[in-house]
Structure 1
Amino acid sequence: MRKKIFPFSVSLLAILCSIAYADMRPQLKNRVGIPPFQILKEIIDTNYTIRHTSDHPRKQNAPHLTWLADPDPRIRSSLISSSTDIYEVRNLANQLNSSLATIDYGIHHLHTPLLLITGNNDNAAIRLFSEGYESIEQTIRLELDHLHLPLAREVGLTVKEETEQDREMRLIEANVDYQVTLASHRYSQRIKAGRLVVVGGVIDLNNHYGSGKNRMRIINVNGEKDTAKLRTLQLFRQLKPERLHSLGREKMPSPRN
């Protein structure tokens, strides 16, 4: 009799554990008070208004840049540019290989002179990868699987006196560096010809670097990661001296009391 009960007990325990794990995962709350019919009304009304304005673009302009970013809704184009001429590409953890065709179109057919790849802190995809994502949908698992190359080693590292926020930022920076490396190799001929610059940055939602919330730090240009060398590049010769703090991944010194 015991032999029949034991497998059932193990199965029941496994089910209960999986349920408990699912309950522990953070769940985003639905936005209250905005039903679909109201959202659709806003979309149609907004589009109707734009269609009748004189400043609506009638010709297709070449975008200034191709921007690869995470789909986090807090990451808006207004954080990096006041221009609307941005060719945006979004996927989980801003991965080049997940959107190759779309990015190739921006580089080879729209001829954008700049490919900007940005990560951001408080990133759900990076957090899922580092904490374990076996229980989520297969489609998402397949996307996150690509992060093993840039992040598997970083996840396993133990850094002395590293906070959870520091660890998260280390993973985000490592991923941006990896994506810039991939892009620099893929588009090397255009880079050598002076027709493309690949830039990696981090949008700091939580003021990790100490420069202010939502500020972007440029940490990699065509594979160059050294802060001192970044600040001497001709690309940034028109920056005001105080804006050079936007280059590099070092934290700003804390103000003295």
Structure 2
Amino acid sequence: MILSVIAIAIATVIWIKTRLANRRLFDSQFSWRNATPQVLRPGVQGAHSAAFWWRQVRDCERATVEWRERKMLTKALVGLLMAGAFLASGAMAESPVVGDRAHAALLYVLENNAQFASSHGSDYYARFTDKQEPLVTMVSCSDSRVHLHAVDPTPDNDVFVIRNIGNQFATAQGSVEYGVHHLHTPLLMFVGHSACGAVTAAVSDYSGESPAIKRELDTIDVAKGAEVKREIVANVNHQVAAALQRFEQEVAAGTLAVVGVIYDFRNDYEMGQGQLIVVNINGETDPEILRKSGMLQGAGAAKILDASRLSD
């Protein structure tokens, strides 16, 4: 709106200046035409008067040409400015829909952060102000329905989290290696989830997606046309296998465990809505062996998936 007002104001000023210039030109033409009979009157300065009159004619003709050029230029400028004003007003008319949503989203984030900051004193930050010491490197899907509060109510300094579509190792290997080798987390966890959009796309035709999205979907190893719920499990197992190949020495030395889980916020796997279901521990997927493994000692309430019993 502001841009359109400015454009219209500039166009108006140019129009007024042009009208004033036209008026001055008319006045000058009128004055020398009226003076012509007197200037050419016999016996009054003769040749000098004639020369003066011709100079007036020449100057007036030159001014007329300049006025026409200026008029054409002014019309062009006014047209451009009015077109710009129209486009600007149209753009401004469309922007509030997007702008209002973005504004509301930004306010939501900032207000929540203000509440968080006001409710946490310096003691809360003291333990991780200068150094992070997370317990787990977590590779999670970017899906907005999957967040840390489902596994840790206070994830600060606990979880080194990496997010991408399909909770993949291949598209985040550098970040995963940083968590394992530099932060020395003893646990590397891949978190799949129910209704994963990346897996849904990967089992179908995604040729219409952008090159960047296709590159990330290409690295999801699932069966085309297969049932999505099963392939979500398969994808988690593939990510664990890829990580075990890279961190074979760390796992053998007992300094790292690689675990695959599924966060089921829809209860697709019928073990309870919102449950974190164990699928794979260091390559082992047999539920009976997993239940007896040392990794799950003390976790009596742990949910373990039996993929062989998955219903379609």
TM > 0.5 between the two?
yes
Q: Aligned AA for 2:147?
A: R
| 2:135 corresponds to which of 54, 64, 75 | 64
On the 8 A contact 1:64/1:86 being kept in 2, the answer is: yes
Q: Aligned AA for 1:213?
A: Q
Q: Which 5+ residue runs of structure 1 have no aligned equivalent?
A: 1-30, 158-166
On the 8 A contact 1:201/1:218 being kept in 2, the answer is: yes
Whose helix proportion is higher, 1 or 2? Answer: 2
Deviation track 1:98-129 (CA, whole Å, cap 9, x = no partner) reads: 00111111111111110110111211111111
1:57 aligns to what SS in structure 2? Answer: helix
1:218 aligns to what SS in structure 2? Answer: strand
Displacement of 1:156 after TM fit? 5.6
2:232 aligns to what SS in structure 1? Answer: helix
Matches within 5 A, 1:93-242: 93-147=166-220, 150-151=221-222, 154-155=223-224, 167-240=227-300
Bigger drift between 130-139 and 46-55 goes to 46-55
| 2:152 corresponds to which of 77, 81, 84 | 81
On the 8 A contact 1:121/1:205 being kept in 2, the answer is: yes
1:220 aligns to what SS in structure 2? Answer: strand
- Aligned partners of 1:146 and 1:117: how far apart in 2? 15
On the 8 A contact 1:209/1:251 being kept in 2, the answer is: no
Displacement of 1:251 after TM fit? 8.5
Aligned CA distance change for structure 1 residues 34 and 207 (closer, same or farther; 3 Å): farther
Bigger drift between 112-121 and 41-50 goes to 41-50
Displacement of 1:44 after TM fit? 3.4
- Aligned partners of 2:172 and 2:309: how far apart in 1? 34
> TM-score, normalising length from structure 2?
0.61
- Aligned partners of 1:252 and 1:215: how far apart in 2? 18
- In structure 1, the residue matched to 2:18 is none
Displacement of 1:219 after TM fit? 0.9
On the 8 A contact 1:217/1:249 being kept in 2, the answer is: no
- Which is higher, the Rg of structure 1 or of structure 2? 2
Q: Which 5+ residue runs of structure 2 have no aligned equivalent?
A: 1-96
Aligned CA distance change for structure 1 residues 50 and 81 (closer, same or farther; 3 Å): closer
- Aligned partners of 1:122 and 1:40: how far apart in 2? 28
- Aligned partners of 1:42 and 1:207: how far apart in 2? 29
- Aligned partners of 1:214 and 1:117: how far apart in 2? 16
What is the aligned-residue identity percentage?
A: 29
Q: Aligned AA for 2:189?
A: L
Q: Aligned AA for 1:123?
A: C
Aligned CA distance change for structure 1 residues 225 and 251 (closer, same or farther; 3 Å): closer
- Aligned partners of 1:207 and 1:75: how far apart in 2? 14
On the 8 A contact 2:138/2:159 being kept in 1, the answer is: yes
- Aligned partners of 1:34 and 1:122: how far apart in 2? 30
On the 8 A contact 2:189/2:258 being kept in 1, the answer is: yes
| 1:39 corresponds to which of 78, 85, 105 | 105
Paired residue total: 208
Displacement of 1:185 after TM fit? 1.3
Q: Aligned AA for 2:208?
A: S
Displacement of 1:249 after TM fit? 2.7
1:87 aligns to what SS in structure 2? Answer: strand
- Aligned partners of 1:220 and 1:194: how far apart in 2? 17
- Indicate the structure whose relative CO is greater, using CA pairs within 8 Å and at least 6 residues apart: 1
Displacement of 1:189 after TM fit? 1.2
Deviation track 1:78-101 (CA, whole Å, cap 9, x = no partner) reads: 112233121111111111010011
On the 8 A contact 1:210/1:251 being kept in 2, the answer is: no
